[in-house]
Structure 1
Amino acid sequence: MTTTMTSKGQVTIPKPIRDALCLLPGSAIEFSVNAQGEVVLHSCKPKADPAKSVIPDRFEVARGKADIKWNTDELMALLRGED
């Protein structure tokens, strides 16, 4: 995988790498160079409660919260702008 560095020295870490290291926005990352001259990326994971680190599904959180009962025909008419 390749990425391009910006004029400010910033790069985007490819998603497969972020996923493999469980990196989230705000994650601390450590860079080092090994004896072969390769850059090594380390995620600095804080010791956390695994139950608290699970990101809730945004759809599960919202499911069942609507207080208006729509039927399909009414909803489609509203969305389409039909009178």
Structure 2
Amino acid sequence: MGMPVTVKGQVTIPKAIRDRLGLTPGSRVAFDIDPDGQVVLRKAEEPAVPADDPLDRLIGCGTALKGMTTDEIMQLLRGDDDSDL
């Protein structure tokens, strides 16, 4: 079964393959080419988040900001406030 390529070069990865590779929204994939010319799709390593990033625990979780005021969020983003959430 073939998948259409969009004008941006994008394709939809079938659900069975996403499930098999453990791909979820935001996952990264890598493409390798075997010596025989076959393209292999694999789950890529996740980029490392700097340990000192004050927002690293918030990545991918918008609910962590629930209940915060705009001023509190801006202080967190700017690093103006050293308090924990």
Identity %: 50
- Any runs of at least 4 consecutive aligned residues in structure 1 with deviations exceeding 6 A, and if so which? none
Gaps of 5+ in 2: 47-85
Task: Report the equivalent of 2:35.
Answer: 35
Question: For residue 32 of structure 1, what is the amino acid of its counterpart?
Answer: D
Question: For residue 39 of structure 1, what is the amino acid of its counterpart?
Answer: V
Task: Report the equivalent of 1:24.
Answer: 24
Once the two structures are superposed, the pairs formed by residues 1-83 of structure 1 within 5 Å of their partners are 1-46=1-46
Cα root mean square deviation, aligned: 1.2
Distance 1:45 1:15 in 2: 20
TM-score of the superposed pair, with normalisation by structure 2: 0.50
TM-score of the superposed pair, with normalisation by structure 1: 0.51
Deviations 1:28-82 (A, max 9, x none): 1110111110100110255xxxxxxxxxxxxxxxxxxxxxxxxxxxxxxxxxxxx
Question: For residue 41 of structure 1, what is the amino acid of its counterpart?
Answer: L
Gaps of 5+ in 1: 47-83
